Amino acid sequence: MSQDVARVEAHVGDEAKEVIISKEESAHDQPDWLVDLARVVNSPGYRRWKAMVAAIGGCSHPIHLAGESLIVDARTGEVLHTYRTDDEPSGRLLVACGNRRASVCPACSEVYRADTFQLIRAGLSGGKGAPETVSAHPRAFVTLTAPSFGPVHSERDGKPCRPRRRDKLCEHQRPVGCHVRHDRHDPRLGQPLCPDCYDYTGAVLWQAHAGGLWHRFTLEVRRSLASGAGMSRREFSRLVRVSFAKVAEYQRRGLVHFHAVIRLDGPGSSQEPPPDWADHLLLVRAVSAAVQRVRLVTPPSPLGRWELRWGDQLDIRPILLDPNAEGLSERAVAGYIAKYATKGAEASGTVDHRLSCPACAGRGRLSLMATCGLCHGTGLKPGLHLDALPVTEHARRMIRTCWDLGARPEFAALRLRPWAHMLGFRGHFSTKSRRYSTTLGDLRSARAQHRAAEAREHHGLPAVGDATTLVLGHWRFAGIGYTPGEAIMAEHIRQRVQTARKIAAEAEDG
C-alpha cells in the first residue's frame, strides 16, 4: 500500500466498504476517530490485536496487563512454556473487565447473564453439582415490590394513566390525575404526577433498607412455614431447609423490586426431598403471610420515623415441570431472572457511576478539622454538579435527597452519598442461599480451567492440575480501555462474537 494513503475496511451489515484517507486529509479534514481507525487496521499487529479482542468477547473496557507467565517442571526446574507480553505487538495482554452491567460492557454483561441463567436453572432442574431430583421439590417464583410514595405516570395497556376528575388539583395546584394513554417509550413513565407531593425522603430510606427488608423476609418465611406446619421453627429446621435465589430490578419510578425463586428441600441437602406435607400450598401461604408481617423502622430523626414494609403488589407463582400447566416453566424463570441480573439503576433514568469524591467518600472532609482537598468540601467528584447530571428530573430529586440525607448524622450508617447514583440502594443485585445451587465463582473457575486445558493441549503440555508442573507469573496493571478507533473495531468484533454464540446456542437447543 502507498505510504500516502491509509485504507480502512468498514463493515456495514454484510457488506464491506474500503475508506481511503490520504495523509493530507487525515491531518486536516478527517475526524480523529476515523484517522485512529485507519491507524489500527493498518498496524502490523492488527491481526493479533483482533484475536485478543475476540478472545475476550469484544469487551468494552479491557484491562491491560504487562508481564510474563511460565510453566515449569516441578521436578527438574525446566521451563516448559513461556508467555511474555514483550512478545506481543502491543506489549500488553487484554483481559475482560468482567462488569455485569449492560450499560457499561455489553460483552461481559452477557457472560454474567448466561452464568446467572445456569445458576438459577441448576437450582430448578439440577446440574452443575445439583441433583436432578430438585425439580420435584416445591418451588415458587415470587416478586416483591416497593410501596407507593406518590402517584406516578404508568402504562396501563392502552387505558388512561390515572383517570380522575379533570378539575381536581393537589395542594400544589397540579392535577391529581392523568388521562394520557402512555406507550412503553413515553419518557414520562415513572415520573411523579406532582414532585412536591411525592415522598422522596421515604422513598430513599426504603431503598436504603431494601436489603434489610429482604433479610427479614427470609427469616419470616421460615417462621411462617413452621407456624403453618404446626411446629416450632427449630423443629421445622430439622425436617425442611429453605433455599432461595433472588435478583433486584429497578422500576421506572427508581425503586427496586425483587424477583426470587424459593425452594423447599430436605434437612441435609438439596439431594433430599422435603416431607410430603411441605408442599406448594404451604409455601405459597407462608410467603404471603411473611410479606404482610415484615416491618422495619428507620433510625430516629428530626425529620420523623418511617415504618418500612413491602408494597401491596405481590406475585407468587408455582414453578412446574410441565410448561403447559398453570404456572411457570423452569427455563422461563431462569431466563427472566438472568435478564434482570445485568441491569442497573440507569434503567430508571440515573447514571451508572459513583458521584461521591473517592478521597472522602462524599463527606467533604478527611477528618473533623480537615476539608477534602480533592472535592474542596463538596463531597462530589471533581467536575461534577448534581444539577448538571444527564438524568431525569425524578432521578435528580432522588439523588439530591440521597445527598441531603447523607449529610445527617443519624443516617451516616446508610452511606447514602456513595450510593446516590443507585438512588440509595446499596444491596447486592443477585444473591442466593448457600445450598441453592452452584456459585458464580465455580462457574468462572470451570470456564478458566477449560480454557487453560485447551491451551495446554494446543502447546503439548501436561494437563491442568498435573502435580509435575508449576505455573509462575508476574503481572502488573498497564492501562484500561481502547482508543477511539479501537473501540469501533471492538464493538464490531463483539457483535460478530455475539451472533456466533447465538447461532451456536440455537443449534444446541435443537
Whether pTM exceeds 0.75? yes
CB-CB contact of 138 with 264 (8 Å): yes
Across 178-197, average pLDDT:
93
pLDDT band at 335 (very low <50, low <70, confident <90, very high): confident
> Which of 189, 304, 317, 319 is closest to 254 using CA atoms?
189
Across 433-451, average pLDDT:
90
- CA distances, 468 to each of 82, 206, 451, 456 (Å): 16, 56, 20, 14
Which DSSP helix (H) or strand (E) runs through 110? helix 106-125
pLDDT at position 459: 86
pLDDT at position 84: 95
> Which of 258, 229, 257 is closest to 242 using CA atoms?
229
Task: Give the best-scoring range by mean pLDDT among 299-303, 319-323, 350-354.
Answer: 299-303
In percent, how much of the chain has pLDDT > 90? 62
Between these two residues, 93 and 428, which has the higher pLDDT value?
A: 93
Distance CA 374, CA 8 (A): 43
In percent, how much of the chain has pLDDT > 70? 93
Confidence check: pLDDT of 158 > 90: no
Q: Can you give the three-state secondary structure of 371-433, one letter per residue?
A: ECCCCCCCCECCCCCHHHCCCCHHHHHHHHHHHHHHCCHHHHHHCCCCCHHHCCCCCCCEEEC
pLDDT band at 14 (very low <50, low <70, confident <90, very high): very low
172 φ/ψ angles, rounded to the nearest 5 degrees: -100, 15
Confidence check: pLDDT of 506 > 70: yes
SS3 156: strand
Q: Which residues contact 111 (CB under 8 A, 6 or more apart)?
A: 57, 96
Confidence check: pLDDT of 462 > 90: no
Distance CA 248, CA 352 (A): 15
pLDDT band at 17 (very low <50, low <70, confident <90, very high): very low
Per-residue model confidence as pLDDT tens digits over 57-81? 999 999 999 999 999 988 888 999 9
pLDDT at position 3: 42
pLDDT band at 2 (very low <50, low <70, confident <90, very high): very low
Between these two residues, 192 and 464, which has the higher pLDDT value?
A: 192
- Burial (Cβ within 10 Å: 0-12, 13-18, ≥19) of residue 48: middle
357 φ/ψ angles, rounded to the nearest 5 degrees: -65, 130
pLDDT band at 143 (very low <50, low <70, confident <90, very high): very high
pLDDT at position 341: 77
pLDDT at position 263: 94
Q: Which residues share a beta bridge with 19?
A: 8
Confidence check: pLDDT of 101 > 50: yes
Per-residue model confidence as pLDDT tens digits over 340-356? 777 777 777 888 889 99
E-assigned strands of 60-156? Answer: 63-73, 79-84, 93-95, 139-144
pLDDT at position 509: 65
> Which of 310, 311, 386 is closest to 350 using CA atoms?
386
CB-CB contact of 145 with 310 (8 Å): yes
Distance CA 466, CA 449 (A): 12
Distance CA 494, CA 489 (A): 9
pLDDT at position 324: 55
Confidence check: pLDDT of 1 > 50: no
pLDDT at position 322: 60
Per-residue model confidence as pLDDT tens digits over 470-489? 999 999 999 999 999 999 99
Distance CA 147, CA 112 (A): 30
Backbone Cα Rg of the chain: 27
**Average pLDDT over the chain, rounded to whole?**
88
Per-residue model confidence as pLDDT tens digits over 443-461? 999 998 998 898 888 888 8
> Which of 251, 317, 252, 257 is closest to 284 using CA atoms?
317
